[in-house]
């Protein structure tokens, strides 16, 4: 599997450098969507991942409806 970008904000700098040496593009974004793969920076992003997945599986409108109903 080849991801264009991984979201590894929480890694120590030396680990980020080590992964970059392998050609992995590291991002500083909270959430990254690469085709049908979602990566995030930490467990705290779980709601954002869930809403992104809901949007991908249904529609943007449905995801916004659920997000609003849940108070986000």
The whole-number pLDDT of residue 52 equals: 96
The whole-number pLDDT of residue 6 equals: 56
pTM exceeding the 0.85 threshold for the entire prediction: no
The whole-number pLDDT of residue 47 equals: 96
Report pLDDT digits (tens) over 16-65: 778 778 887 777 788 888 888 898 878 899 999 999 999 999 999 999 99
The whole-number pLDDT of residue 10 equals: 57
The residue ranges of every structural domain in the chain are 6-69
The dihedral built from the CA positions of residue 48, 51, 55 and 56, taken in this order, carries a sign that is positive
In total, the chain counts a number of residues equal to 72
- Kindly report the CA angle at 27 between 36 and 37, in degrees rounded to 5? 10
Alpha-carbon dihedral 47, 52, 56, 60, rounded to 10 degrees: 100
């Amino acid at each position: 599997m080849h991801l264009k970008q991984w979201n590894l904000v929480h890694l120590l700098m030396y680990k980020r450098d080590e992964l970059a040496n392998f050609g992995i593009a590291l991002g500083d974004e909270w959430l990254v969507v690469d085709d049908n793969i979602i990566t995030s920076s930490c467990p705290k992003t779980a709601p954002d991942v869930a809403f992104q997945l809901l949007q991908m599986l249904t529609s943007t409108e449905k995801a916004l409806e659920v997000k609003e109903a849940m108070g986000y």
